[in-house]
Chain A
Amino acid sequence: MTIEMTLPLLKDPQMQFGAITFFAKQHQGDTCGSNGLPLTPNSIIIVGRAQILKTIKNPYLCNYLDIIRGKHERTIVVSQYCGTPLINFIEKRPFSVDEIKRIAYQTLEGLKVLHQRKMIHRTLSNENILLQANGDVKLFNYGLFHMSDMGSLVSFPVLQVLYTAPEVYLNGLSSSYSDPKMDIWSLGICLAELALNKVLWSSLKLGQKIRKVTTLLQVDTSIFEKIAREHNCYEQYLELPEDLKDLIEECLNIYPNKRPACDKLIENPCFADFKVKPTKTISKICEPFQIFTIHELYHLWQLAGGDVFQELKKQGLIRSSPPVLSVPSLVLIEGTILGQERNPSTLYDPRIVQMPLDSLYQRFAHIPFPVFYPLIHCKSEIIAKFDPPPYDATGLPLIIKERDPEYQLHRVILLRRLLHGYPFTKDLIFEEANKDIPPFLRGEIWATLLNIKANYDIEYLRIDKFTHTTTDRQIEVDIPRCHQYNELLSSTEGHKKLKRILKAWVCQNSHYVYWQGLDSLTAPFLFLNFNDEAKAFACLSAFVPKFLHNFFLKDNSAVIEEYLCKFSQLIAFHDPHLANHLYEINFYPQLFAIPWFLTLFSHVFPLYKILHLWDKLLLCDSSFPIHIGLSVLTQLRDRLLTSGFNECILLFSDLPEVDIEKCVMLSMATFKITPKSITSRLHENEMFHKKTELDITGIGLEELKKERCSRISVNDVVRLVRSDFEGVVLVDIRNHTVFSRCSVVGSINIPFSSVSFSENVIENVGAQASTIKSKGDKVLVVIGDEETDLERFPEFLLQCNISKVCVLHGGFNTLLPITPTILTSTISI
């Protein structure tokens, strides 16, 4: 397969994007909201409001791709930008009647989508209707009015003077008047320009243009006819077919209520030829299938070094002025700044900068065509042979893989296909997620790993998110403190969404209550599914039973205490030295680890770290967080070992930088080698942890608290003996007589009564001391029975810094019924 085939796929003429930039309105001085917190910068509010625009996908609307904040409230909007504005053709080439009708129809289809979402274009003009090579049109920059909250967040008027409906001027530009009918008027003007092939009032100045528009209110005959006469186009006007004239005339009705809405205009018989049958989407977890989307292209472009900010700078849209020029001339005591006014003409810049894609094309030029069509289920070797060799990124650090455009291209293409096959491809997704999760698709992949069902949105709709409850105050004070460094979560939209999700969760989980920390726990899901609140909620709802079963009970102390005990035991299991030190200085997990486990580290780490941590967590079970806890301690081990209580607790009050990739690898490593029963808990969710009589059951909290070494289940011991005998040392502490009568094959005997516990030296166990000392990483299972003390001996081993010590739950007798037996007798019969 050749290069010539790949590039056209990327070089789709519609796969191009550009950016515009403007400043959001700056708050005056040091102003605070009613809650004492600083007012949210308007640019952040805009970023939050603009997110929803990214979800608008319609062939007649340019896709919104990104909203970026710069310094001093600068806002940059990146969106699909392809084709040529209609204005460039007017007076240069005539438009056929059919062409005009097609443009009218497609523009209406685009407007319809906006109006259905209660959005108004407001700036529709022939400058932002882009004509494509195939004759279709796409509307551009239709979201400005929405993202600026009807213009209130910016200090320039959001409109196109000539195309603005007269009632907008009558209401005043700063009024919150918003009626979708104003877009219909603008469409009328656009069509009039096309039909007459004339740029209207092109020689007039700004003020005169506004006057022209408002004087149209006094016209009592046909407005279109009047416009035509004014431009000496009356003959052209007469030649136009009646249906087109009527259409334009309807749009240019001076009474907004008499002007037809989109839906009605679309029904006009003159559009019959252009109607396309709507296609229905099936999969809800992700969007309808495309070989390659512009969102992906933009993502890869960024990875390949594309930088919108730099491009705008290069084109002169962003200019930095010396800081000395921005010093105000006067600052009043209460904070008002004077003499620093920005030149209003710099506030809105209509220029659009097309982003260059050449370097991306070059970067991907060598990629063979079949990469875009990976074989997923392939039984035939012959076919598989033609598959290009997989892109080798194994062994590279995650952070590098995530920034490698080529690797991400492969991953995104493969995983998007798998997501389309969900739920049938669940296992394949799991397998791939095990390698790594491409950040671009993280939200969708997480949802599948959590087994989200397709009707999640309907379920969310049904939940009451608005009735006042006693929890509201707590939620309200927590939200403005939750991961506020993040633009999305600190935006007004973000606050609203988080509040609704939390209220819905509290409402839906009547057996649980809202605990502080639940906000942090929700934050990653909201961040990843900012435009799909229902999915964020569904993820949270699936996440809690799987990983935090019963943690949010009104009285959760038993659950948490048990969890923390298990944490202590796991430290003892893997790192006796550290465990002994922490024990000696009375540094208990209760003092520092509650926020770790209650929020699964979402309260202690910044978002980007949580994402990587949870990428793995979602593949594991509810014992994984204990391993994460251990790996955090391991990273700080040297400091902890040399510190006393105060230094240790201070270390955790202000958690130092934790290398998250190391942390993930360490936790995965201990998670994999630790027998499951070491971390098994009474309060585990039975749905995810099925238990038999060969597992550990019925250990009360009081009993558990006394045990410094963990128990191990018969199941795990039998498995170890049978499959991994080299990895286990079995120490039978029953007396010699019973031991010789019957014991586990290969076990060693250290009778409990023979050991002196006076000092913590391993030599006290006698002849077998060397076996234990040289056991290395093997699991040491202590086997006893009712006659022996099952706490003192293992604790002694722990105090001697012997690692991986655990106690067989139920004692020797539980091994008797096992078939085929693992027991033997040294007495010959």
Chain B
Amino acid sequence: MANRSGAAQRPNGQTQGKICQFKLVLLGESAVGKSSLVLRFVKGQFHEYQESTIGAAFLTQTICLDDTTVKFEIWDTAGQERYHSLAPMYYRGAQAAIVVYDITNQDTFGRAKTWVKELQRQASPNIVIALAGNKQDLANKRMVEYEEAQTYADENGLLFMETSAKTAMNVNDIFLAIAKKLPKNEQNAGQTGNNAQGRRLTEGDTGPKTAGNCCK
């Protein structure tokens, strides 16, 4: 664990007692801002012309929550429908998912609902799902009403926030909300041991082999 102690010290410099590691996946139609949300969360940056994601990208970020350090292993997936076949490889075994849509585009909200359904059906049963209505900075071009999304989220037991990767609004908050909702005890389902590294993510893989590792 020595190599992790550095990460465990941020952001307030105190070494935390407990480190939890969670796999989180971002899903949603292409160009809704998945990569931008991750980039904002992980590096605090925003690129107007964020390149499209092919396959998937992987990033990590650690946040502190009371006495616990939560490390997110984030899989940022490609949005295009064609890459759908790769998605299970990434959401399988994930403890959390953020399904993103673009508030200025009704179709992307429809697509988000499909993703939620798929996750409820095929991902780990305890998965924490958050719905993010991104591009809140373009609220004057809004096509998806806040209430509509909120109602849908309530019905399906999802966390919901409208976010803006551009202005950073609610970006950290949504990750924080997920971290709060995730179980952080050792009875955590799917725990496989202390070593969080070396995970198999191939197609034929079954079961929550990659599921969370929580260690003191």
Contact = CB atoms under 8 A, between A and B. Distances in A.
Decide whether A and B are members of one complex.
yes
Interface of A: 32, 34, 36-38, 473-474, 477-478, 480-482, 484-485, 490, 513, 515-517, 519, 554-555, 557, 584-586, 588, 590-592, 594-595, 598-599, 603, 644-646, 649-650, 652-654
Given A37-B49, A594-B55, A477 B198 contact: no
18 contacts: A478-B30, A481-B31, A481-B49, A481-B50, A515-B82, A516-B82, A516-B83, A517-B52, A517-B54, A555-B85, A584-B198, A588-B201, A591-B201, A594-B54, A599-B54, A645-B197, A646-B196, A653-B57
Interface of B: 30-31, 48-60, 73, 78-80, 82-83, 85-86, 89, 104, 107, 135, 137-138, 141, 166, 196-202
B78 A516 contact: yes
Nearest to A38: B48
Contacts of A586: 198-201
Contact of A649 (B58, B82, B86, B138): B58
A489 B182 CA distance: 44
A591 B52 contact: no
Contacts of A557: 85
Q: Which of B55, B59, B104, B201 has the most CB of A within 10 A?
A: B55
B58 A653 contact: yes
A515 B82 CA distance: 7
A650 B60 contact: yes
B54 A603 contact: yes
A603 B141 contact: no
A585 B197 contact: yes
A62 B86 CA distance: 55
A516 B202 CA distance: 22
Nearest to B51: A481
Given A34-B141, A481-B31, A653-B57, A603 B51 contact: yes
Nearest to B204: A705
A646 B78 CA distance: 20
B202 A588 contact: yes
A513 B200 contact: no
A515 B83 CA distance: 8
Nearest to B81: A474
Contacts of B80: 474, 515-516
B197 A644 contact: yes
Q: Which of A34, A37, A477, A516 has most chain B Cβ within 10 Å?
A: A516
A599 B31 CA distance: 19
| Residue with the greatest number of chain B CB neighbours at <10 A, chosen from A473, A585, A645, A646 | A646
A474 B30 CA distance: 8
Contacts of B59: 650, 653-654
Contacts of A588: 201-202
A37 B46 CA distance: 12
A654 B198 CA distance: 19
A554 B82 contact: yes
A763 B96 CA distance: 49
A595 B57 CA distance: 10
A595 B60 contact: no
A492 to B, nearest CB: 15
Contacts of A38: 48
Contact of B137 (A36, A473, A480, A484): A36
A646 B7 CA distance: 13
A646 B202 contact: no
A377 B95 CA distance: 69
